[in-house]
């Protein structure tokens, strides 16, 4: 049986840099900590800690993905849904590099 907890922890660790880029692009100037959950907090403000329970929750959040990918968010999310979780991060990084990073 797949150890889902270990898999998720390893996935988050391996792709922490990508997840941090996405969170900062969506929410602006925030501190990001990737552990078992994807956590972010805005600087200098109290009670602003927030967390996303998993990478997949982030990838299929219409609000967050809309902020990152704009009108391409639907295309990105549909494409990610067709790929097993083990391949989503690489595809997401490719979309980020093509649609977001090149425009910065």
- Structural domains in the chain (count): 1
List the structure tokens of 80.
């990610």
The pLDDT tens digits for 24-77 are 999 999 999 999 999 999 877 666 889 999 999 999 999 999 999 999 999 999
Which three-class secondary structure state does DSSP give residue 51?
Answer: strand
CA angle, residues 62, 66, 70, in degrees to nearest 5: 150
The span from the CA of 39 to the CA of 50, in Å, is 6
How many Å separate Cα 40 from the centre of its chain? Answer: 11
Average pLDDT over residues 7-15: 97
Global confidence as pTM: 0.93
What is the structure's pLDDT at 43? 77
Helix H or strand E segment including 52:
strand 50-52
For 10-45, the DSSP string reads HHHHHTHHHHHHHHHHHH-SEEEEESSSEEEEETT-
Q: Which residue range forms the structural domain that includes residue 68?
A: 4-103
């Amino acid at each position: 049986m797949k150890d889902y907890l270990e898999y998720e922890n390893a996935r988050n660790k391996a792709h922490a840099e990508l997840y941090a880029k996405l969170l900062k692009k969506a929410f602006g100037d925030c501190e990001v900590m990737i552990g078992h959950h994807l956590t972010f907090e805005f600087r200098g403000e109290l009670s602003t800690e927030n967390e996303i329970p998993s990478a997949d929750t982030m990838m299929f959040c219409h609000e967050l993905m809309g902020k990152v990918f704009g009108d391409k968010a639907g295309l990105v999310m549909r494409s990610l849904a067709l790929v097993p979780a083990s391949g989503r991060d690489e595809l997401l990084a490719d979309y980020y590099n093509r649609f977001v990073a090149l425009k910065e």
